[in-house]
Amino acid sequence: MNPEIVKLARRFRISVLSHGQIDLPQGLSNEEYLLSIFREEALAREERAVRERLKQARFPSYKGFEEFDCDFQKGVTKEQLDLLAKLEWLDALFNLILIGPPGTGKTHIALAVGNKAARDGYNVAFHTMDNLIHILKTQDISSKSKYRMQWLRKCDLIIIDEMGYLPVSKTEANFFFSLISELYESTSVIITSNKGFDGWAEILGDPILTTALLDRITHRCQVLSLTDESYRLANRKNIFKN
Ligand code: ADP
Ligand code: MG
């Protein structure tokens, strides 16, 4: 390819031309050739953007809707999962709260939603409650936390996993409340918890703050209660065969 094309492609950041080679069918008209290049470039940019969003989301692992067994978990139907996977509720700024004992698929569903959303163009972040509180507390003294907060403010969906496993101090509860208030009506939130709403006041150590928090979160919200037996325990793998 003409070196000047390569040079200009780099300057204008047309990645598909900047390596000096592109595989296109022979015999295209000028217009078809140009269109093919634009299409290739659009595709390459979209793939890069998806990779970047998945990286920024910081999912601990991949979980998909297709692997979720609704026959095992009676707290949610296939139709409800399909509706969640459609993500229209994100545009309508709904929240999702997944409540249930350990091993019942809360994190799995949250990750499946998050993954689909990141692939479909939504900015997503995944944090455990513990980790999120650490970021909130250190945003003024740690540049890592400050940058993460900047990303959280750009997010369409924030997943807060494992609320209620570790105790939260009064200051931490206030930080958490401020974040939820800030996100209210601008960002969807998924919260997973092993405790029902009755237990949230205990987690946050302040009934008044909890009422105000629940008021905001549950205004537009779907609550799913996963109450069956633990999938982890039922499908436990052994090291020894017998
Ligand atoms: P929780 O967050 O409720 O403690 P997880 O979502 O982490 O539970 O589930 C524990 C493990 O069991 C994960 O590996 C998850 O993929 C799997 N799992 C849980 N429920 C189901 C289900 N209904 N179908 C398929 N896998 C499941
Ligand atoms: Mg979990």
Query: Does the pTM of the predicted model rise above 0.95?
Result: no
Q: Are residues 72 and 158 in the same domain?
A: yes
Q: Are residues 37 and 95 in the same domain?
A: no
Q: Are residues 95 and 129 in the same domain?
A: yes
Which pLDDT belongs to residue 229?
Answer: 75
In ligand 1, the atom with minimum distance to the C-alpha of 69 is: 24
Does residue 165 contact residue 203 with C-beta atoms inside 8 Å? no
In ligand 1, the atom with minimum distance to the C-alpha of 70 is: 23
Last residue of one domain, picked from the residues 56, 82, 97 = 56
Ligand 1 pocket by C-beta < 6 Å: which residues? 63, 67-69, 72-73, 100, 102-108, 192, 231-232
Looking at the domain assignment, is residue 240 inside a domain? no
Å from CA of 111 to ligand 2 middle:
10
Looking at the domain assignment, is residue 27 inside a domain? yes
10-residue mean pLDDT series, the chain (242 residues): 90 88 86 92 95 98 95 92 97 96 96 98 98 97 98 98 92 96 95 93 92 93 87 77 65
Looking at the domain assignment, is residue 242 inside a domain? no
Q: Are residues 63 and 162 in the same domain?
A: yes
| Closest-approaching ligand to the CA atom of 111 | 1
Q: Are residues 50 and 70 in the same domain?
A: no
Q: Are residues 159 and 227 in the same domain?
A: yes
Which pLDDT belongs to residue 242?
Answer: 61
The string of DSSP letters for 43-97 reads: HHHHHHHHHHHHHHHT-SS---GGG--TTT-TTS-HHHHHHHHH-HHHHTT-EEE
Q: Are residues 96 and 34 in the same domain?
A: no
Q: Probe ligand 1: pick from 108, 109, 227, 236, max atoms within 8 Å of CB?
A: 108
Residue 99's H or E segment, with its range, is strand 95-99
Domain count, the chain: 2
Which pLDDT belongs to residue 24?
Answer: 85
Please tell me the residue having the least CA distance from ligand 1 atom 21: 105
Å from CA of 196 to ligand 2 middle:
15
- Could you tell me the CATH number of the domain that includes residue 166? 3.40.50.300
The domain in which residue 167 lies consists of: 58-234
